[in-house]
Each structure stands twice: as C-alpha cells, then as structure tokens.
Structure 1
Amino acid sequence: MSLILQSPAPLSANDIDAVRAIAQAPTLAPRAETVAAADACAALTPALREALDAYCGPRSIDWAIVPAGRKLSDFKLVAMDMDSTLITIECIDEIADFCGLKAEVSAITEAAMRGEITDFNESLRRRVALLKGLDASVLDRVYEERLRLSPGAETMLRTVQALGMRTLLVSGGFVHFTDKLKPRLKLDVTRANTLEIVDGKLTGQVLGEIVNADVKARTVQEVCAQIGADPSQAIVMGDGSNDLKMMAVAGLSVAFRAKPVVRAQASVAFNHVGLDGLLQLFAH
C-alpha cells in the first residue's frame, strides 16, 4: 500500500517524519511542497486511521492509503455528486433562501446528509413542497449568483478527461443545474431530479423517479456497463449519506468535505485539499 499526504500549505519536515512513524513507512518523501508519498506503509486498521486522523486533522493535512502500483488511467469512470461536492452549495437551500425558508430547508438537508433522515425521497418532497409558488426565474439566479465550483474541480476534470476517462454527475439535486454544468464542464452523463414548473412557477412537486441512494448506485453501474467498464474501475466522489451506496459499488470512493458517516466508510477523505487531490493519489 502507498501512503499519500496532501495539504493546502507546504508540508513541514517535522510533519512528514511524524506521519512516517505513525504509518510505519520506511520512507516518506516530498513529491512537491504540498505532497509527500511513501511506496510502503502499514496496513490500514481502525487504530491507524484514528492515529492518522488525530495527527493530520488539526494540521490541515489529508492522508490516504491506496493500493501501490495503480495508475489513475486504470480507472474508466469518475462519478460525482453535485451539491457540496462538485459545487460548493446545496442548490435547494439557496433556492429556499429566495422565499425566506433557507434555515428550515437547510435543517432538513443537513439531517438527510448526516443520515438522520433515512427516507431521502420523503425529505426531498418535504423540502420541494416548501418552494411551491416560487418564480422559476430564481433557479437561474441561483446558478448565476451563487453556484461556484469546488476548488480543484476544473483541473481534476480536465486531467481525467485527457486520460480518456468518462465523467458522470449524478445528483439528488435538480436537472436545471446539471444541464448547465454538463456542457460547461464537458461531462459525459448527468442525472438529477426535475422540478415541476407550471406557468413559470414551481408547483412544489418533483416529476418522475427521485434520484436517491439506490438510483445513484444503479446509475453508476449502468454507465459502467455502457462504457464497458467494471464498477471496480469507477471512482465515486460524494459528501452525504445518500452517496454511500454508489461509493460502495466503486473501486475507489472519495469523501469530499463529507459528513462523518461518509468519511468513515470512504476509501479516501479530502477534508482540506481540493477535488484535484485525486490526481496525487496515483501515477497517471
């Protein structure tokens, strides 16, 4: 197994030495100012995970233990959640802000993402119902005024696309946003929920099948089948509990700025570096 350290700031020699000792790595050498790597380290155990988190977390260092010898190009698909993963906002919370209900909707969103509300369909319907009567032009305002890509998103996508990997954006959010991001970022496939709009107003209803955890996992598997890839050749990136099922079918799962339940189950967690941290985990 290989150990990778990354940080937004330069890594100190003291931090590199300390982590090398914790992980029982024969060597841990700087690869760049903000990246260090070891070709061998101890197997990841709960105790080692706890020790690495305890040391690295307060120092804004992200660590990862990944299979040695793998290349990024061995993977065929990068699948991403949208809200709070590819982008920095939760779109439904920002939409709700335009009708003065952001706090109420955000509370439901947070509980759902932490896994405290287990019925995602019901939580989405409850939130969307609160938007009834809102002018649909608000959706464009959220996209133009509030939607921002997460750090490193464009660099990560350009690199994996140049390697011939396919990209999937699968979201429990809304097609109004995925449809705009698809051409902007040259994404291959997108899937999300459709808000019903009648006479220019949101009706408070969602049309068709809701994209929940099961649908996300199924979509990853379907896209893998379409491109002739095994799910083990998929990388899945997410932040909330409704991403866990699609992360479980993938060969590599990345928890990005994620809830604790997701960090605990993911292959890798990026709490400090951007999405382009993916590019440091494996040789290209």
Structure 2
Amino acid sequence: MTMNLVLQGPGASPERLGAIGALAKPARVHRLSAHALRCEDVGATADVRAAVAAAAFEAGVDATFIAAGRSLADFRLVAMDMDSTLITIECIDEIADMQGLKPQVAEITEAAMRGELEFSESLTRRVALLAGLDAAALARVYEERLRLSPGAEAMLAAVKAAGLRTLLVSGGFTFFTERLQARLGLDVAHANVLEVVEGRLTGRVVGGIVDAEEKMRTVARVCQDLGCDPAQAIVMGDGANDLKMMSIAGLSVAFRAKPVVQARADVALNFSGLDGILSVLA
C-alpha cells in the first residue's frame, strides 16, 4: 500500500516541514498551504514513523501517515464528541464552578477521560454534586464560557460542502448539544438529559446515560439510517469514552486528546485546528 505523510502546524515554516518530511524519504512533496505539506510515496516503517513523530512533536507539527488517495469523498458522516473536541471546555466542570466545586468535578472528569474511571459512574458522581444549582447556570456557561475549538467552523463548512452529514454525540448534556446543533446546522445530536425540578438541578440524569457503548451505538445507528457502513464515518474525540465509537470508524481523529486515545487513533491533531483533517484528506 502506498502511503503519504501529511505534515501541518500553525507556526511551521515550509522549510521545517520539508526537513521533517525528508525523514520519510518521499518520492514527491506537494505543498498544501503555507503551513501544510503532503509527502507522497513515503517509507512508513516503525523506525521512520517514530523518527517523524519525535521531530514533528518537537517542532509543534502534526504528522499523519495515511494511505494515498483518501479524501472526503470516501466518507458519508462526520461524528464528533462535544466537550474538549467540538468545543474547548468541559461543560460539567464549568457548571460545577458555579457551585464552587470545579476542582472536585474536574478531577473526576480527568480520571474518566484518561480511562481510569468508568464513564457512567463518573457522570453519576459528578452530576450528583450539582444538586440544588439554579438551572440558569447552564445558560451562563453557554453564553459566557463555551467556545468552539479552533477550525471547527471551517471543518464543518467543508464537510457539508462535500455532502457529508454531521453527528454530535456527547456524554455531556442536551442543553448544550441542542443549542450547538441549531447554531451550527448539525444533522443529529445525542446527549444526556439533566433533570430540572422547579428551576433547579436535582443531581440526576433522566433516562439512560450516553456512555462509550451508547456513543458507538449512535454512530452505527446514524450510519444505518444513512445507508452506509461505519467505515464511511470520520469520528473525532479526545477521551477514553470516545474509543469505542472511534474503533468502528473508517477514520478516527484524536483532537487534543489523552495519550490513550492518541495511541489508537488514525489521526492525532495536537497543534492544528479541527480543520486539520481537511489537509489530511486533501
């Protein structure tokens, strides 16, 4: 199989990218933009991959080895995690901050994202700490703290233009996914429902929890609805609870992800924005 190497970094010069690419002895080099190169027909042995990875990380560059010829046209769906993937924050941590409990909740969040704590248990524990909070805090988090990740809008515009459908599937909450779905024109959104009684959070989730298994089932279900195979899905995530849905995808993308996720993803974007996937599939 002929392999290409895509190198990209927001602060990387063509010279630096070329020097890193040379480690893979490419047959040809194609400049994709001021900060991205595609090195074609490269060596992709374990030693080459390790040398490229080390040089790229030191230079603040994302390096992706990918089969030649892959493009957005190969896919029908882009599925995204929400917290710390499509957006820059963990919503539950910011909600907890309204209770003065952000350190306690964030510690549980981090353990779950690293895969050290089962997600359903972690969510139940975190949501319980929010009991009694005025539900207006959710709107404050959305309006004051929620920001899209770099490159999110450019990525979405490109995949929509290419005819792909979009899915936002989150272990977070519908309060945020529904607003993002409307704001960004996403096709499908699925997340947990926070219980609110008399204007205050009860500390419980209504219905089943959207955990790793449910995320995977959701990707498979949406693909079935589209009449395509999960191999025609691009799945983006950052935490351990994204690994199962990433495992059935045709292309898995780790965005600013935990090490356990980066190690198992096809593409790792540590420096580029979400639109870095466009260079990978250019």
Q: TM-score scaled to structure 1, two decimals?
A: 0.96
- Give the drift of 1:44: 5.2
Is 1:62 paired with 2:43?
Answer: no
- Give the drift of 1:204: 0.3
Is the 1:6–1:277 Cα contact (8 Å) retained in structure 2? Answer: yes
Tell me how far apart the structure 1 counterparts of residues 252 and 106 of structure 2 sit (CA, whole Å).
25
CA deviation vs aligned residue, 1:149-204 (integer Å, no higher than 9, x gap): 00000010011111110000000000000010011100000000000000000000
Is the 1:172–1:211 Cα contact (8 Å) retained in structure 2? Answer: yes
Letter in 2 for 1:178: T
CA deviation vs aligned residue, 1:67-122 (integer Å, no higher than 9, x gap): 111221220000000000000000000000000000000000001001111x2111
Percent identity of paired positions between Structure 1 and Structure 2: 59
Residue of structure 2 in register with 1:237 after alignment = 236
Tell me how far apart the structure 2 counterparts of residues 209 and 44 of structure 1 sit (CA, whole Å).
44
Is the 2:9–2:62 Cα contact (8 Å) retained in structure 1? Answer: yes
Is the 2:12–2:35 Cα contact (8 Å) retained in structure 1? Answer: yes
Residue of structure 2 in register with 1:126 after alignment = 125
Tell me how far apart the structure 2 counterparts of residues 37 and 250 of structure 1 sit (CA, whole Å).
23
SS of corresponding position for 1:28:
strand
Residue of structure 2 in register with 1:24 after alignment = 25
| Equivalent pairs, count | 280
Letter in 1 for 2:96: A
Residue of structure 2 in register with 1:277 after alignment = 276
Tell me how far apart the structure 1 counterparts of residues 49 and 184 of structure 2 sit (CA, whole Å).
34
Letter in 2 for 1:219: T
Tell me how far apart the structure 2 counterparts of residues 184 and 237 of structure 1 sit (CA, whole Å).
19
Residue of structure 2 in register with 1:154 after alignment = 153
SS of corresponding position for 2:42:
coil
Residue of structure 1 in register with 2:251 after alignment = 252
Tell me how far apart the structure 1 counterparts of residues 252 and 125 of structure 2 sit (CA, whole Å).
29
SS of corresponding position for 1:105:
helix
Residue of structure 1 in register with 2:4 after alignment = 2
Tell me how far apart the structure 1 counterparts of residues 245 and 103 of structure 2 sit (CA, whole Å).
29
Residue of structure 2 in register with 1:171 after alignment = 170
SS of corresponding position for 2:220:
helix
Letter in 1 for 2:92: I
**Cα distance 1:207–1:19, how it changes in 2: closer, same or farther (>3 A)?**
same
- Give the drift of 1:27: 2.9
Is the 2:7–2:21 Cα contact (8 Å) retained in structure 1? Answer: no
Is 1:43 paired with 2:44?
Answer: yes
Residue of structure 2 in register with 1:194 after alignment = 193
Letter in 1 for 2:53: D
Residue of structure 2 in register with 1:220 after alignment = 219
**Cα distance 1:130–1:161, how it changes in 2: closer, same or farther (>3 A)?**
same
SS of corresponding position for 1:265:
coil
Is the 1:6–1:36 Cα contact (8 Å) retained in structure 2? Answer: yes
Tell me how far apart the structure 2 counterparts of residues 5 and 216 of structure 1 sit (CA, whole Å).
30
Unaligned runs of 5+ in 1: none
**Cα distance 1:37–1:114, how it changes in 2: closer, same or farther (>3 A)?**
same
Is the 1:44–1:65 Cα contact (8 Å) retained in structure 2? Answer: no
Q: TM-score scaled to structure 2, two decimals?
A: 0.97
Residue of structure 1 in register with 2:203 after alignment = 204
Letter in 2 for 1:74: D
CA deviation vs aligned residue, 1:216-237 (integer Å, no higher than 9, x gap): 0110000000001111100000
- Give the drift of 1:43: 2.6
- Give the drift of 1:38: 1.5
**Cα distance 1:136–1:44, how it changes in 2: closer, same or farther (>3 A)?**
farther
Report runs of 4+ in structure 1 exceeding 3 Å deviation: none
Residue of structure 2 in register with 1:139 after alignment = 138
Letter in 2 for 1:228: G
**Cα distance 1:49–1:223, how it changes in 2: closer, same or farther (>3 A)?**
same
SS of corresponding position for 2:7:
strand
- Give the drift of 1:20: 2.5
Letter in 2 for 1:160: V
SS of corresponding position for 1:147:
coil
